[in-house]
Structure 1
Amino acid sequence: MSGAIHERKWEHLLVSTSGAIVEVAINRPDARNALNGVLMRELIEIARLLRRRTDVQVVVLIGGEHNFSAGADLSFLQEPVTGPTVLETREAIMLGPDMCRAWEEIEAVTIVAVEGYCIGGACALAVACDFRIMGEGSFMRLPEVPLGINMSWNSIPRITNLVGPSRAKRFVMIGEPASAETCLAWGMADEVAPKGSALEVSRGWAAKVASLPPLPVRMTKEAINAQANANHYATSFMDRDQYLLTVRTQDFQEGRKAFLEKRSAIFKGD
């Protein structure tokens, strides 16, 4: 396959193709594959390039060999995203939501191979895709609420669609790791592979999907997503403004300080 995805020199992505299957590997190992601005922009760009390609039937998203991703770059704990005006700050924090939406809008089937930890924004990205294969010993975790901020990136409707309201509240509010087996039982993972074999199993899934007639597969994905996401925007469009509010609270300052000092936080609701 030729085209822009291979002609482009990616800074933090490795891209390969086998027939109608494209593999996109996050490649920022020195930073635990943390999602910084450059990486998120590349993930948006490649998703948009792949979005309507008729020669692509499956896209496999891969993290590190031992860990998927540590989530959003922790620099936000040192200094939250700010701009000269609230309006400009509000625009700047759309990078994460735009990344997740771009991957959700790929018409080909998307499969995520998860080994090790998949945290915060990386989890938000994973649940924006169609299927998740998790290796034994891997886990997903959302640390945002215990840090004093809301879970944003328009991810709560996606999580709720997968696991239901009660489990979504538990997963998002408490911030404890959900093991691969728990994710499978809840519906947030689609198969648990032997440790180190998530990519191999994902490739098996990809080959199975690629052998199917592509038109009804795409139609099915579109129909199911249209039903599942019908109220998505209506229930999550305010989450960036909730973020703008929560990062200005004393509780966030305390949560950030406690995290960096490795101690329990004392929250006061202020």
Structure 2
Amino acid sequence: MNYEFLQYEIDHRTAVVYIDRPPLNPLNTKVFRELAALIDELDANSQVGAIIITGTGEKAFVAGADIHEMMNLDLAGMMEMNKISRATFSKIESASKPVIAAVNGLALGGGCELALACDLRICSENAKFAFPEVNLGIIPGGGGTQRLPRIVGQGVAKELLYFGEMIDAKRALAIHLVNKVVPADELLPTAKEWAEKLAQKPAIAMRMLKEAVNTGANVDLQSGLIVETACFGNAFATEDRKEGMRAFAEKRKPVFVGK
């Protein structure tokens, strides 16, 4: 499939996806649809073990949703766009492979929501984050009010959501919004290093880990433990589990095959 607003490359079992609407890479309906289709394509590709999402240029990861498109929508049209955006972010969150956000600049509104839907977030020192929606008379609609408190806690989440003010990379790291901050020229190499390490892990065990953590975050402890037990059983039943344990006993590096 050809993509108008996305670029991607695959190397060392890592797919790097670039949001490409310079200079600020805003998200419109077509970007959401393209991103959903590409995530499906990469998730089904056996040659891909991990995915990185970033933005083109030096100014922005994604500087929010496309306000020019939103201004021309009535309520029904806006709710349809919102439905498409939420489905896209949920698709990223539930992808069977780990997804890393490499935040190379501004991550505002929908851009911050995109990063939150990823499993891990690495940002450059010049990255900035905000949920400015309240200052436009609206609220986040792509999962921001739900994913943000689960990651940074309710009190900090309310501070960011209620004030709508920008925070820098240092503050983002301090509140655990991001996992790591690096110089701009080290961002993509670091994200690729992480992704390549993850891509070498046993695929089914990684998928079960992601399912157990994601599902468990939204249920009570006992229900989460039941999910964990089922995921543990699925991982234990694989050929990769046998290979991993044999390699450990034989003091060698395992050779996983994704089965």
Cross-structure match for 2:36: 44
- Of 181, 198, 212, the match for 1:223: 212
SS of residue in 1 equivalent to 2:7: strand
Instruction: Quote the Cα distance in structure 2 between the aligned partners of 1:207 and 1:157.
Output: 30
Provide the residue aligned with 1:60 in structure 2: 52
Residue of structure 2 in register with 1:148 after alignment: 137
Query: Percent sequence identity over matched residues?
Result: 32
Q: Does 1:112 align with 2:74?
A: no
- State the secondary structure of the residue aligned to 1:99: helix
Aligned ranges for residues 155-174 of structure 1 at < 5 Å? 155-174=144-163
Equivalent positions of 1:195-234 (< 5 A) are 195-230=184-219
Q: Provide the rounded CA distance (Å) in 2 between the counterparts of 1:203 and 1:76.
A: 33
- What residue number does 2:166 align with? 177
CA shift digits 1:19-58 (9 cap, x unpaired):
321111111115x211112111101111222335444220
Please tell me the root mean square deviation across aligned C-alpha atoms, in Å: 1.8
1:193 aligned residue (182, 187, 203): 182
The amino acid of 2:13's aligned partner reads A
In 2, the alpha carbon distance for the partners of 1:55 and 1:229 equals 31
In the alignment, which residue of structure 1 is the partner of 2:237? none
In 1, Cα distance between equivalents of 2:105 and 2:113? 16
After the TM superposition, which segments of 4 or more aligned residues of structure 1 sit over 6 Å from their partners?
A: none
In structure 1, distance between residues paired with 2:109 and 2:103: 14
TM-score, normalization: structure 2? 0.79
Tell me the equivalent position of 1:243: none
Q: Name the counterpart of 2:16.
A: 23
Name the CA distance, whole Å, in 2 between partners of 1:212 and 1:10: 30
| Residue type of the alignment partner of 1:124 | E
The answer to whether the 8 A contact 1:52-1:106 is kept is no
> Does the CA-based 8 Å contact 1:69-1:118 persist in structure 2?
yes
> Between Structure 1 and Structure 2, how many residues are aligned?
219
Partners of 2:89 and 2:213 in 1: CA distance: 18
Partner SS, residue 196 of structure 1: helix
- Structure 2: gaps (5+ residues): 221-259
Q: CA deviation at 1:217?
A: 1.5
Which digits, 9 at most, give the CA deviation of each residue in 1:166-185, with x for residues without a partner? 00101111111121111111
Give the SS at the match of 1:48: helix
The alignment partner of 1:60 has SS state of strand
Moved more, 62-71 or 88-97: 88-97
1:11 aligns with 2:34: no
Partner of 2:229: none
Task: Tell me the residue number matched to 1:244.
Answer: none
- Report if aligned partners of 1:14, 1:26 keep a CA contact under 8 Å in 2: yes
2:111 aligned residue (119, 122, 131): 122
1:33 is aligned to 25
Residue pair 2:29, 2:81 contacting (<8 A) in 1 also:
no
The answer as to whether partners of 2:63 and 2:111 remain within 8 angstroms in 1 is: yes
The corresponding residue for 2:246 is none
Aligned residue in 2 for 1:247: none
Partner-residue secondary structure (3-state), 2:184: coil
SS for the counterpart of 1:29 is: coil
Q: Deviations over 1:149-208 (max 9, x none)?
A: 112212222111110000010111111112111111111101001123211110111122
Q: Distance in 1 between matches of 2:190 and 2:12?
A: 17
